[in-house]
Amino acid sequence: MAAVGSGSPSGHVFRVERARGPVWYAKYRLPDGRQVQKKLGPAWTGRGRPATGYFTKRLAEDWLRDLLHDARRGTLAGQVRTGATFADAATEWLRYVEVDRQRKPSTVDGYNAIVRAQLLPAFGQMPLESITTDAIERWLSSLTGAASSRTKALVLLNGILKRARKVWGLQVNAAAEVEKPALSRSGDVRVFSPEEVWALVRAAASEQDGAIYLTAAFTGLRLGELLALTWRDVDFAGSVVRVRASYAAGVLTTPKSGKVRAVPLAPDVASALALLGRRLHWVGDDDLVFAGEAGGHLDGSALRRRYKEALGRAGLRALRFHDLRHTFGTRMIAKADIRRVQEWMGHADIQTTMRYLHYAPRSEDAQLVAEAFSVGGLERGTSGDELGRLGTSSKTS
């Protein structure tokens, strides 16, 4: 660790060993008392002139010496106060994503919840300039919960400070230097068996709820898409359901992918929907398939509560409502090519669909391995009895 400068401002450079190689950092104190830590770049460990973007100890010290010189002269970028607090920046960013970027109301509601619960308590009244990388790292390490949730909070913080640079001229986005929590992705999804789906349908509190559970599992529609489904979207003659809209947070919007898509209408679902329609006194094309008591959209939260109660009555595992959608994906990947499954489920990225691939039965793969390792008496076609005798003889030899 090497110190540079004396008096105020002051600072030092230091090297951190990372999994991808050593990195040089600078930590310094400005005349107003603010402490800043900045990642300079990867450490040069080779011989000769450092490659572009790499730092030796001397280059790191030179960078810090120049910065401290500007700080003493009062010409350092960022020394001018913006006059805004983090709460101001958060309010502006939420307005920006809702109005300018036109994010869906359900998305904005989710952002609001994270800002209120995790960001404002930690940074709310702090001046933007006083938020440092060190402070953010301490805050991030104090958070509990899944790594994905902590990562989402950090991403929002980064977006807020990035927006503040444009609106208030904030010179440094301290969140940009913070490493995201490591995510462990098993790739596994929890799904129902066909027998469990039917058990859930039988345990539903009403015929309509049963039809919703069946449709969710046999079409893969998201909850918001089910709530927005109209009779115009159900093509009995063509055996298809067209997904045109989604309903969430009291607002009707486009599906998550932003595109209309068509999903096969299985005979069991067609029968359940036809029976549901006949029980209604009158059904118009624009009427909702799954309507609330007053004819409006169903309450999604209340539906989830009834779903959990139905799980209990059926004696099933506590799977999420969304796992009905996963059930469709895992069953269909065994029958159709991945591009068709992607289209049916409305995935913008095929990588999302690929998580279902390990559910596709591929018995021929085992035969390929057997052929690749076929030697001597263990050739293709060796029976289980013969393998058993071979195992017994090897123990007695």
Instruction: Select which of 25, 111, 247, 356 is catalytic.
Output: 356
> Are the CB atoms for 16 and 26 separated by under 8 Å?
no
**377 backbone dihedrals φ, ψ, rounded to 5°:** -75, -15
Structure tokens at 37: 């830590």
Instruction: Mark whether 69 is an active-site residue.
Output: no
Instruction: Mark whether 166 is an active-site residue.
Output: no
Instruction: Select which of 27, 163, 297, 347 is catalytic.
Output: 347
d(CA 132, CA 30): 12
Instruction: Mark whether 322 is an active-site residue.
Output: yes
- Alpha-carbon distance values, 301 to 60, 224, 304, 310, 387 (Å): 55, 11, 5, 14, 56
> Are the CB atoms for 175 and 158 separated by under 8 Å?
yes
372 secondary structure, DSSP code: H
Residue type, 330: T
Instruction: Select which of 38, 222, 326, 331 is catalytic.
Output: 222
Nearest to 343 by CA among 224, 255, 270: 255
d(CA 364, CA 353): 22
d(CA 57, CA 41): 11
Instruction: Select which of 261, 325, 326, 331 is catalytic.
Output: 325
**Strand residues in the chain grouped as ranges (E):** 2-4, 10-18, 21-29, 35-42, 234-235, 240-243, 246-248, 251-253, 261-264
Instruction: Mark whether 152 is an active-site residue.
Output: no
Nearest to 255 by CA among 189, 345, 341: 345
Instruction: Mark whether 325 is an active-site residue.
Output: yes
Nearest to 309 by CA among 176, 163, 192, 205: 205
Catalytic residues: 222, 256, 322, 325, 347, 356
